[in-house]
Copies of this chain bind each other. A is one copy, B any other.
Amino acid sequence: MTGWLVIAGLGPGGDSLVTPEVTAALAGATDVVGYIPYVARVADRPGLTKHASDNRVEIDRSRHALEMAAEGRKVVVVSSGDPGVFAMAAAVFEALEAGPEAWRDIDIRVLPGITAMLAAAAKAGAPLGHDFCAINLSDNLKPWDLIERRLRLAVEADFAMAFYNPRSKSRPEGFARALAVLQEACGDARPVIFARAVSTPQEDIRTVPLPEATPEMADMRTMVIVGSSQTRVIDRPLGPIVYTPRSVRV
């Protein structure tokens, strides 16, 4: 079998955050598959066919990519950020596991990318410099009860928290509930970072104390990071730096 399948992370948006490994894979591909705005980031060239599809069809898209690779094509599935973090890699493996036995012989590789939480954290300082967790707040993939339980346990563990998909179009009320749970469970004024469209021309980073955070501060392009009880803010003329120290003193 001469075809292959690469699942590649394009990073949060800026071209200077795409790894050379991903650039090389795209240069060798015959087909690029992905969500419309991510496929649009790949330059056209002779010999490259682009297959752009809408959101919410991740499994169909994955099957199509696997079929083409099984037929001998060189296929790159593009993801925003890192493909392994709330993105296309798990979808492709779900399709692979449920698909024909022959697909298990496909040469398949995942190429990491700069995931949104790390790009957002870098812009704010180092809020994830100590133990932390990452939670997808979109509740079309799991029940709200499970999200709320995870939020409460994460507060109890004193993790900093990074939230992906805080406000989905279909269920915008989830983030208001999450914020209310956090404001009650944390009971302090730890910093919350709203990082919108990081590394694009629309980038906007805003830090507020948890009691002042409101649901409207996030939209579908926003990454939200909530500090732990140890997270600190350094005030500066150039704008605040938010960081979580490496050590917890006893």
A positions within 8 Å CB-CB of B: 11, 14-21, 24, 58, 82-87, 89-91, 93-94, 96-97, 104-105, 107-115, 118-119, 121-123, 125-136, 141-143, 146, 149-150, 153-154, 156-159, 232, 234-238, 241, 243-248, 250
Contacts and interface: CB of A to CB of B under 8 A. Distances in A.
A110 B123 CA distance: 7
Contact of A248 (B14, B113, B128, B146): B146
A150 B93 CA distance: 29
Contacts of A149: 157
A243 B15 contact: no
Contact of A112 (B118, B130, B150, B241): B118
Contacts of A107: 238
11 contacts: A16-B19, A17-B20, A19-B19, A19-B114, A84-B121, A90-B243, A93-B125, A105-B238, A131-B134, A132-B134, A143-B250
Nearest to A244: B90
Nearest to A149: B157
A228 B18 CA distance: 29
A214 to B, nearest CB: 24
A83 B131 contact: no
A205 to B, nearest CB: 12
A112 B11 CA distance: 10
A237 B118 contact: no
Nearest to A89: B126
Contacts of A94: 243, 245-246
A85 B128 contact: yes
Interface centre among A91, A115, A118, A146 (most CB of B within 10 A): A118
